[in-house]
Amino acid sequence: MALADGFGANNWQRVTRAEAADEVSKCPSVTSFDYSDGQNNTQKGISDIQGFVAKGVDALVVFPHQGKAMLPAIRSAYKAGVVTVPYRVSPEGNAGQDYDVYVDTDFAEAGELWGDFLVQALPQGGKVLQLGGPAANSQSLAEHEGMMEVLSQHPNIEVIGQQPYEVTDWDPAKTQQVVTAALARYPQIDAIATDFGSALASAFPAFEQAGRQIPIIATEDSNQLACDWRDAEAAGKEFGLFTVDSQNGMVRLAVQQAVARATGGVVPDSATYPQAAWENSLTGSPNPVLCDESLPPDAFTSAGQTLTTEQQIAALK
């Protein structure tokens, strides 16, 4: 089988690749496991999928970073008889016509969890900036819709910036550029919601350079973000922080679906990976902010539910 990533260079994808490899290692029917990094280039991503089909893989898991632009290549793999399982970002299309099954999660629920926290953290209202991944990707759009479902009931909280979200391509360097530009444009930013906490943490120096306090943050978990929060608290500059599980383990469900369908095994009952709150600095529930010094800064404490410390360290070298 093979895993085709649309963009494999960031820390989320590297840890997720380790999750996939670990899951594959449990499957004796998998005789080889190949991987490709689309490098955030649609044409390379398409070429990678075509290459796996030509190589004769039996099962293919795809992270369609560019969304529906990847659908023709995914459909072509499926029509060629390869068990094809896109996951996390929707390529659109339909199961049974364009691919075998789409492994999804309720990103709107993550947005609702962010919205609930922001209402709690901003009792007097405020201005919220949302950062997302590539333009029009299904994850960031659904998170925005879920968050707005909550915030629309609280008119004293205003969402500012490009709508529905500021585009970062889930790239730390671009995130820094977007944050720097937002700080120059908006004299008041009370909170930031983003689906890539690690990239936002890498942009924290921009706040210091602008002489601005780090605002309240609602995001996915990141060890660097948690340790930065701990350091800010120690310096008397604490900011509110809420995270959901980063869901690196979601790829395991995609692998299970692909392997079972390719080998005639028992197909998992569900193709939906659950959302879950992870850290809350205000309530400490389900966890307080978790800075793990045994892990690299770019690791994810939530991934410790399925990967060992040593596996994360190896993935991030």
| 307 located within any domain | no
Give Cβ neighbours of residue 196 (< 8 Å, ≥ 6 apart): 10, 12, 131, 133, 168, 170, 175, 219, 220
- What CATH number is associated with residue 6? 3.40.50.2300
Assign 125 to helix, strand or coil.
Answer: coil
Residue 123 sits in the same domain as residue 235: yes
| 231 located within any domain | yes
Widest pairwise Cα distance in the chain: 60
Residue 137 sits in the same domain as residue 34: no
| 269 located within any domain | yes
Residue 114 sits in the same domain as residue 160: yes
| Tally of structural domains, the chain | 2
Residue 240 sits in the same domain as residue 125: yes
| 202 located within any domain | yes
Looking at the whole model, is its pTM more than 0.75? Answer: yes
**What's the pLDDT score for residue 179?**
98
**What's the pLDDT score for residue 207?**
96
In tens, the pLDDT along 217-256 reads: 999 999 999 999 999 999 999 999 999 999 999 999 999 9
| 282 located within any domain | no
| 287 located within any domain | no
In tens, the pLDDT along 246-303 reads: 999 999 999 999 999 999 999 999 999 999 999 999 999 999 999 999 999 999 999 9
Query: What values do phi and psi take at 272, rounded to 5?
Result: -115, 125
Mean of pLDDT over the chain: 97
User: What is the share, in percent, of the chain residues with pLDDT greater than 90?
Assistant: 97
In tens, the pLDDT along 151-170 reads: 999 999 999 999 999 999 99
Per-residue pLDDT, averaged over 7-21, amounts to: 95
| 69 located within any domain | yes
In tens, the pLDDT along 117-143 reads: 999 999 999 999 999 999 989 899 999
**What's the pLDDT score for residue 159?**
98
**What's the pLDDT score for residue 180?**
97
For residue 289, which of 238, 213, 250, 237 has the smallest C-alpha distance?
A: 238
CA 268 to each of CA 82, 83, 173, 308: distance values in angstroms, whole numbers, following the listed order: 19, 15, 38, 24
Domain that holds residue 97: 2-104+248-273
Residue 94 sits in the same domain as residue 199: no
Assign 127 to helix, strand or coil.
Answer: strand
